[in-house]
Amino acid sequence: MPHFYSVKEAVFPFNKFPGVDPILSPEMKSTGEVMGSGDTFAEAFFKAQLGAGEAIPGLTGERKAFLSVREPDKTGIIEVGRSLLALGFTLCATRGTAAALEAAGLAVEHVNKVYEGRPHIVDLLKNDEIAYIVNTTEGRQAINDSSVIRRTALSRKVPYATTLAGANAVCMALEYGRGDYGAAPSGSACRSKSMNKVPMTVAGERSLREELDHLKSEARPQVIAAIAEAREHGDLKENAEYHAAREQQGFIEGRIQEIESKLSVAQVIDVTKLPKTGKVIFGVTVSLLNLDTDAEVTYRIVGEDEANIKSGRISVTSPIARALIGKEEGDVVVVKTPGGDVEYEVGSVEHL
């Protein structure tokens, strides 16, 4: 029997389909899978979420969790609420869930459902006041009513649990991340959603702005012209050119929204203007020596959306980057991988 836990996580391309309801359904297909391994389930789950690029609540700062669950889950949500309070969250909930939490002696703020009037939960999400959501539903009407919450949470990159089991797993992962289940990962990559800032290099920002300019000045006018031309052919129901152009327009507009959202929360860091202390920080280029194979590799630590392992760019949230942050030239780091621990010696640290 293995003396470790492994958690497999599916990777879904929700960011490619803005406006889609991310609730799980039978027709969903993932674009890949990742696996996290650790000495405990909490550690394995924590690493799996990071590996899949899933947002998880921040470990520090002011954080508010929104809870709204179906009637059968009212008892189980109490333990989730206690765990979140112990982790430093404040709680807000819809009327029925709040009543269950208050009956158990937990402090909770009341918040309106969308159809109950403003300010409601979607307003709080858009104002970046919510760091985590637990929302379980049943029945077609309830699922439809909560779809706007899921879509808004997705666009704002707010972590979202749709089952009590998932909510409890996230709480365990957060407890591990802050050290309650043993040593937390070096340079934990969990950022507070209340801060709502994402590190990005100057090159990464430039690339996004160039793509955005191309989409707005060239791709958008071209597809508008194609739609107008296709309309002239008549009978839109059987007009393949028209439907293809409209589909392309949807992708273009979705990508424009995605880029604008990324840029609005970007914290652009120019590493060339930071003091050269010899320590590994975001944006530096670091050379490493694999002490097992004597192979040398060079990586640049970049933002999540800039990472490209083939080009030597690794995400600041990757296991190796988390192990390197804060280390200096000559230090030895141990990176946990599914195949076992790998030791690297830090060589040069350059601000390029």
Q: Domains in the chain, please, with CATH?
A: 5-192 (3.40.50.1380), 200-267 (1.10.287.180), 271-350 (3.10.50.30)
Predicted confidence band at 21 (pLDDT cuts at 50, 70, 90)?
Answer: low
Transcribe 111-138 into DSSP letters: -B-GGG-SSBHHHHHHTT--SEEEE---
3-state secondary structure of 255: helix
**Across 280-305, average pLDDT:** 92
Output the six-digit token pair for 254: 């979705």
Region of poorest pLDDT, from 17-21, 89-93, 210-214: 17-21
Region of poorest pLDDT, from 48-52, 88-92, 213-217, 296-300: 48-52
Is pTM, for the whole model, over 0.85? no
Most trustworthy range by pLDDT among 4-13, 141-150, 215-224, 316-325 = 215-224
**Across 327-336, average pLDDT:** 89
The residues near 50 (Cβ < 8 Å, ≥ 6 apart) are 36, 56, 189, 317, 318, 319
Is it the case that residue 244 has pLDDT exceeding 90? no
**Cβ neighbours, 10 Å, residue 287:** 16
Question: Alpha-carbon distance 166 to 172, whole Å?
Answer: 10
Looking at residue 167, the DSSP 8-state letter turns out to be H
Of the candidates 6, 49, 19, 312, which has an alpha carbon nearest to the alpha carbon of residue 171? 49
Helix (H) or strand (E) holding 76: helix 76-86
From the number of C-beta atoms within 10 Å of its C-beta (0-12, 13-18, 19+), residue 292 rates as exposed
Is it the case that residue 325 has pLDDT exceeding 50? yes
pLDDT tens for 22-76 read 555 544 454 567 788 877 888 888 888 777 666 567 666 678 999 999 888 998 9
Question: Alpha-carbon distance 177 to 189, whole Å?
Answer: 10
Strand order in the sheet with 296-302: 313-315, 296-302, 285-290, 340-350, 332-337
Could you give the angle at the alpha carbon of 275 between the alpha carbons of 269 and 278, nearest 5°?
A: 105
Is it the case that residue 190 has pLDDT exceeding 50? no
CA distance to 15, 152, 246, 305, per residue, from 252 (Å): 13, 19, 10, 18
Arithmetic mean of pLDDT over the chain:
81
Residue 45 near residue 36, CB atoms below 8 Å: yes
CA distance to 58, 246, 330, per residue, from 337 (Å): 23, 44, 22
Question: Alpha-carbon distance 352 to 349, whole Å?
Answer: 9
